[in-house]
Amino acid sequence: MPLQIPDPVLGAWTKGFPAHASGMRLSEVPGADLHLSDLVTPVLTVHESALAHNESTVFGWAASHGVLLAPHGKTTMAPALWQRLLDAGAWGISVATPWQAEVAVDAGVSTVLIANAVTDTAAAHHLADLLAADAELRILCWADSVATVEILAGALAGATRPLDVLVEMGGAGGRTGARTIEEGERIARSILASPGLRLAGVTGYEGPFGPDRSDASVEAVDAYLQTLVALHERLAYPGGVRPVLSAGGSSFPDRAAAILAPHRDDADIVLRSGAFQIHDDGFYSRMSPFGPLTSTAPLRSAMHAWSRVVSQPEQGLALLDAGRRDVPFDLDLPIPQSVDGEITALNDQHAFLSLAPGASVAPGDVVRLGLSHPCTAFDKWRVVAIIDDPDATDPRVLGAVATCF
């Protein structure tokens, strides 16, 4: 399914790209003979072979377990990267907000899963308009209360096509979601009683129940996932509806598959893991099961930042030109990979690099940084360069992708 890929004209707004690229269209970058040394620090890059490796690893694993993937598009908000996921066999693209859903629909995604409750009446009206305008489009969203169903029902009253709604299960200590199966059943009955809505399945997010991969966390995640199955088995779906049973952040897709996949004969098992395409050198490198736990190759970080030394004001300390405006810091600080040391703090436009004994850098040197959490890396960049090999002396720029944040 070919998407509409943004093809902006590069200019001063394109952080990281050189002045001589100004006036070039994004689609012309592959033929421009650019290298990493042509880019302006700080700059974020994506590594082509790691992307391909991660995609083939996870889609192959999913196929072997009989589960479908609707990767979370909010991770990158880059239609060109969504295209790769769809080409690999994605069932659809997940998003987190009605606005993100509109971006996906505008790009041409035909199955959009809003992994959230929609309680904005104007947004719900717009979903109805999108469905009316395209008979091939499918939009699904969540509801975790009767009040949410009532908002959706009011907005979709008289709609020409129904909005698919999944009942969201939560649990004590979780995020959103009905706290009991009985409440989930009440929500389902409310959806069934609303002409503009269609009961389409059960969903939830297991991440809050497992802060790590300890036995206790896995046990808590499994127990929560069993509640999704329990509710699913108690619901009577409308005729002609093949329900969706969905879970799966990027930390526990293996557990979601283990608990939900046995029910694939009577439901589409849809996992929403999104970070796997990019992966990282921090949080997901610690949490992802891919590798020994799934009998697959481990995933590889496909993103790096490159930052230049701008000051060395005292022995053992260097200041880099990447800061909070450029690199993620919500889960872990960046990790120096080309010099022995540690990033100890970030300002808006500076990183504090504490050098290990014997390590040295000089003003003008470029330091490669490993990053943690792709969701908060991409939102800082409107265009991201794709390179061939981050370990090369001067990696080639193979292309670039535009984000829609």
List, for residues 203-253, the tens digit of each pLDDT value. 999 999 999 999 999 999 999 999 999 999 999 999 999 999 999 878 999
Q: Quick check: 68 pLDDT over 80? A: yes
pLDDT in the model for residue 405 = 93
Confidence grade of residue 22 (pLDDT, cut at 50, 70, 90):
very high
Q: What is the pTM of this model?
A: 0.96
- Span 317-346, mean pLDDT? 98
3-class SS string, the chain: CCCCCCCCECCCCCCCCCHHHCCCEHHHHHHCCCEHHHCCCCEEEEEHHHHHHHHHHHHHHHHHHCCEECCEHHHCCCHHHHHHHHHCCCCCEEECCHHHHHHHHHHCCCEEEEEEECCCHHHHHHHHHHHHHCCCCEEEEEECCHHHHHHHHHHHCCCCCCEEEEEEECCCCCCCCECCHHHHHHHHHHHHCCCCEEEEEEECCCHHHCCCCCHHHHHHHHHHHHHHHHHHHHCCCCCCCCCEEEECCCCCHHHHHHHHHHHCCCCEEEECCCHHHCCCCCHHHHHCCCCHHHCCCCCCCCEEEEEEEEEEEECCEEEECCCCCCCCCCCCCCEECCCCEEEEEECCCCEEEEECCCCCCCCCCEEEEECCCCHHHHCCCCEEEEECCCCCCCCEEEEEEECCC
Q: Average of pLDDT values for 170-199?
A: 96
**pLDDT (0 to 100) of residue 248:** 84
Per-residue pLDDT tens for 144-156?
Answer: 999 999 999 999 9
* Region 299-321 average pLDDT: 97
Does 261 have pLDDT greater than 90?
A: yes
Confidence at residue 196, expressed as pLDDT on a 0 to 100 scale: 95
More confident residue, 2 or 370: 370
pLDDT of residue 25: 98
Average pLDDT, the chain: 97
pLDDT per position as a tens digit, 50-62: 999 999 999 999 9
- Position 173 scores a pLDDT of 85
| Residue 249, pLDDT score | 77
* pLDDT above 80: residue 66: yes
